[in-house]
Amino acid sequence: MSFDTIIVGGGIAGLLTGAILAKNGQKILLLEKSSMLGGRSNSIEYKKGYIVDFGIHLIRYSTKSSIYKIFKKQLGEKLDIINCGDIKLFQDGAFHDFPLSMRGLASTDIFNDEEKKAFGPILVDILKLKVNDYLDVSVPDYIKELEDKHGKLSQPIKDFLVVVANLMCVSTKTEMLSSGEFVDGIKTGSKAPSGTSYPRGGWKAIIERLIEIIKENGEIRTKSKVDSVKIENNEIRGVNVGSEFIEANTVILAIPSKSIFDLIPESNFSPEFVKMTENIIPTVGVFMDFGLKEKISDHDGTILTRKPFTMSVFASNLDEKIVPEGEQIYTIFQPTELDVISDKEKIKQVKDNLMNILNEMYPDFSNKIIWHRTSAGIVDGAVPFITQHRNLRPKVKSEIEGLYFAGDSYGVPGTGGEIAHTSALFCAKAIFEDRTKLELLT
């Protein structure tokens, strides 16, 4: 059997790209080395009746998100999502409305009346900002620029801007975060009916549908590790899987950029590409999932803390079918540095601290736990630092003819998981454009 395109990697980026191409008539072969598809975006039945995601996987920007647009425009389907409620900030022993809109600004109590009046013009400036002009500008430098224009900002306003940057970029290394990337998130979110949404039935439902679409016009093989990609005269020829050679003139590597050279020698790429690819720092952190024996909160939006920065959600308040009746799932996540996730003692320190926060937010929390699990690892492929923003990461189209990339470490707009979704769209469009050019030439 011959294929138009081979996709290496069955994570969310590979599945989305494969579904777009398959829906547009391409014969697809998707190869995944593990037994499970969906990668970090998948959800599992961790305990009987509990459908658990890998960390917090909300859909940013609701109907304005890349994944919603892909389903609607490229796949011709409506993605079934549940809009989340407002964001809350827990500080000083209480929950506060977290203002990401003019409406939220009016209702919040984290600012006094004078600060609310001062913040209005700042929010207007943020929404008018030209993103590309500020990709190389760090968040602290942008805050200084705002102070030069609007006068000295109060500590609550500066703290708020930092937390928004941490939230949008999923990182607490504020001094390195790109203000252009975080402002782009605010601008996109301001146009959405909800800041975040959750797929009905969990991410498992999305992944299962993408698999069905690909199989309608192609094939998926799990436990199929690609050993190498064959290239002749700077053109793709196919892939080697064990003793089998599979021919195709288009290959998509839907894998982390640092893994490219496991399949293709560095000598096939420019020194600039190699340097750009090897230096990407991923988003990492520690998250804890809890199965609770009774409902302890009705809140259906994200919950934040500032010191330390954490984000958390009761996913079962959005879709009660993912838990046994009367029970609840709660997930909390704290971004960390790379050295933390490889050190058991440091992970334990984070875990103990998170438990202290939870018992402060919800007294007697520990006594409501049926089960819990703690995990530490990579959450997203690239933190949007000023040193690795969208213009400083590898593009989805390679310098090798017929080779493309998709995933959350490539150079497309977005932050967090949105990068992977957007990369699928950019990758598919690049392939369509190149195919059209080729047809015109022949």
Tens digits of residue pLDDT in 280-295: 999 999 999 999 999 9
Residue corresponding to tokens 């920007």: 61
What is the rounded CA–CA span in Å between residue 71 and residue 249? 27
| pLDDT at site 101 | 66
| pLDDT at site 193 | 81
| pLDDT at site 441 | 44
- Give me the amino acid identity at 172: T
| pLDDT at site 230 | 97
Mean pLDDT of 129-142: 96
Assigned superfamily of 283-380: Protoporphyrinogen oxidase, mitochondrial; domain 2 (3.90.660.20)
Distance of CA 315 to the CA centre of its chain: 17
pLDDT band, residue 378 (cuts 50/70/90): confident
| pLDDT at site 440 | 47
Q: Where are the domains of the chain?
A: 5-41+66-80+203-280+384-441, 99-190, 283-380
Q: What is the DSSP letter of 152?
A: P
| pLDDT at site 14 | 97
| pLDDT at site 102 | 64
Asked if residues 96 and 304 have their Cβ atoms less than 8 Å apart, the reply is no
| pLDDT at site 442 | 43
Choice among 105-119, 261-275, 299-313, 319-333 with the minimum mean pLDDT: 105-119
pLDDT band, residue 436 (cuts 50/70/90): confident
Mean pLDDT of the chain: 92
Share of the chain above pLDDT 90, in %: 80
Alpha helices in 154-283 (DSSP H): 155-169, 179-190, 203-216, 271-278
Asked if residues 34 and 221 have their Cβ atoms less than 8 Å apart, the reply is no
**What does the pLDDT look like over 150-200, one tens digit per residue?**
999 999 999 999 999 999 999 999 999 999 999 999 898 888 888 899 998
What is the rounded CA–CA span in Å between residue 334 and residue 357? 11
pLDDT band, residue 4 (cuts 50/70/90): very high
SS3 344: helix
Comparison of pLDDT for 59 and 102, the residue scoring more? 59
Q: What are the residues whose beta carbons fall under 8 Å from the beta carbon of 103, sequence distance 6 or more?
A: none
Structure tokens at 130: 């030209």
- Give me the amino acid identity at 169: C
Question: What CATH number should be reported for the domain whose range is 99-190?
Answer: 1.10.405.10
pTM for the full model? 0.94
SS3 412: coil
Sheet-wide strand order for 94-97 = 94-97, 88-91, 303-305, 310-313, 328-336, 283-292, 369-380
**What does the pLDDT look like over 20-29, one tens digit per residue?**
999 999 999 9
Mean pLDDT of 193-222: 92
Q: What are the residues whose beta carbons fall under 8 Å from the beta carbon of 349, sequence distance 6 or more?
A: none
Asked if residues 409 and 276 have their Cβ atoms less than 8 Å apart, the reply is no
Q: What is the DSSP letter of 33?
A: S
Structure tokens at 75: 């796949």
Say yes or no to pLDDT of 52 above 80.
Answer: yes
Say yes or no to pLDDT of 270 above 90.
Answer: yes
pLDDT band, residue 2 (cuts 50/70/90): confident
Task: Pick 5-41+66-80+203-280+384-441's CATH classification: 3.40.50.150, 3.40.50.300, 3.50.50.60, 3.10.150.10.
Answer: 3.50.50.60
Rounded CA Rg of the chain: 22
